[in-house]
Structure 1
């Protein structure tokens, strides 16, 4: 089941916010989250997205409900809800419940993640990200989406309440992007340079939603910013899907040596003063993004929102949708 995306595209706004589930949000009390997400809404950002780990720290639908209830018009997205954490029927029911309670404000980002594998690989109700070591993420996601659609059809036939919500896939490679085009409502790529946004739009076509994430470093000195970025890059796995995606985009061994080449760092991380950060974010829009999610590495939620407040004035028409 896919939905029309036009209404959501018109309300997303050019810029949204991606908040790290751990360690920042996992250690943030609900009252403080309500306060800070209300600040984000007041600053003019169109959406807030949160994710979940394999074992928390916060259950995604309860978390999304908290953020939706704390705001009036902000769109709220899962970036991502992990398919290994719940069955397709449970995923469909959780999203449908929030979509009906908060019409037009929920976006469901879905991803395979990396989770222990258990159960029958042919059973779409098995809550496992990868049911077998040879099951590709694309095959797992395809079965999962089909099972979600079947659950939605069953609920509708039983008279259940229905409200539309887009399904966006954590898509990096061409096959997952094609699945997002053909069996979902778009893509939510993570850890990608502008070149990937252009490629993703080419594969998705003009009608699907494209909502990439971009890390910003509020540091005007290039040397200091690159040193900070290299610490972030070093924390990732050399075999992660993000690294593989960067290699697919043409970054080679020299780019990954010694903590990352300046080319890789500058393409992957936005850094500089607010005007420079705004230029990088706008490049994603020019490459085909419907909205760009800003991620601020910060020790606390308050600190991240303080950085967003400094950036907001430099963003061009931050509260306005990209496509009207």
Structure 2
């Protein structure tokens, strides 16, 4: 992807996007949520997957025709869910059908998810490097979109970020403090995209907000890559145990009223992010879209 194309992706994504990552919901509900997010003024909608269940390219194909301008992105498309040639082909087909409206985030997921799908976990860096080789080898067999789509790697640590710099159009880290964004930008350099995924809790009471935050499994799942990355930022075992100390929670999640959350999200932009994807901790799709609409006037 050329520098000019990276600039085009930055323009299309805008400063803020949202993640629609709720559990199962009918297709009409996803279409309605996508339209609401576009009408609210966000630049992108990001969706995820594990292995099985909600398949990310099918999900994107449900929402793309229901909208007109907003970018749809995968955060992430799981490399363990499909052959690399299928990943390249699926993304190319959607990018060809909806020029300039697809962003492809790919990631290696976590050991627990992969092993639970019946596959054998292997070195994340080696797996991703081999997978990118397979994607690149299959480009000639896939459609050629009129607007190239950006390929981003879910990258928390410096080695994966280095691979994102050298083999992709940028990085897509999640659930990390602002300092992590600053370091990622320094490693990537100015010519790569940096899309940061930030969890938010619209709750001004600190005890209530931190209690909600500790319901997330990111810091408690065995072998959590988020724990490893937070250790490199200076957090010790005591701070990272039990779902995270108050200091860890406050560093990793944005909580409070609309104004306070807006300040945190803008801090990521000031630290070098091109685009920030909000993730509200909400039980269903309707509640998520309601909260994103509440935040839109502060951000957009």
Q: Fold-level match, TM-score > 0.5?
A: yes
The equivalent position to 1:66 in structure 2, one of 48, 62, 68, is: 62
1:175-217 CA-partner distances (Å, limit 9, x unpaired)? 0000000000001111111111111101110011111111111
Contact 1:2 1:183 (C-alpha < 8 Å) held by counterparts: no
RMSD across aligned positions (CA): 2.1
Per the TM alignment, residue 238 of structure 1 is displaced from its structure 2 partner at its CA by 4.7
**Counterpart among 233, 250, 265 of residue 281 in structure 1:** 265
Residues 268-308 of structure 1: CA distance to partner in whole angstroms, max 9, x if unpaired? 11111100000000000000000100001111111111111
| 1:39–1:305 contact (8 Å) kept in structure 2 | yes
In structure 2, distance between residues paired with 1:218 and 1:161: 42
Shift in CA distance, 281/129, structure 1 to aligned 2, threshold 3 Å: farther
Q: SS state of the match for residue 176, structure 1? A: helix
- How far the C-alpha of 1:259 sits from its partner, in A, is 3.8
Deviation, 1:261, is 1.7
The yes-or-no answer on 1:97 pairing with 2:93 is: yes
Q: What residue number does 2:43 align with?
A: 46
Which residue is 2:166 aligned to? 182
Mind listing any 5+ residue stretches in structure 2 that lack a counterpart?
none
Find the counterpart in structure 2 of residue 244 from structure 1: 228
Q: How many residues end up aligned between the 2 structures?
A: 295
Q: Structure 2-normalised TM-score?
A: 0.93
Looking at structure 2, the residues matched to 50 and 262 of structure 1 have their Cα atoms a distance apart, in angstroms, of 28
Q: CA deviation at 1:142?
A: 1.0
> Is it true that 1:226 corresponds to 2:210 in the alignment?
yes
> What is the deviation of 1:84?
0.9
Residues 1:216 and 2:212 are matched in the alignment: no
Aligned twin of 2:191:
207
- Inter-partner Cα distance in structure 2 for 1:140 and 1:148: 12
Structure 1 gap segments, 5+ residues each: 119-126, 319-324
| Structure 2 residue 143 is the aligned partner of structure 1 residue 142 | no
| Greater Rg by CA | 1
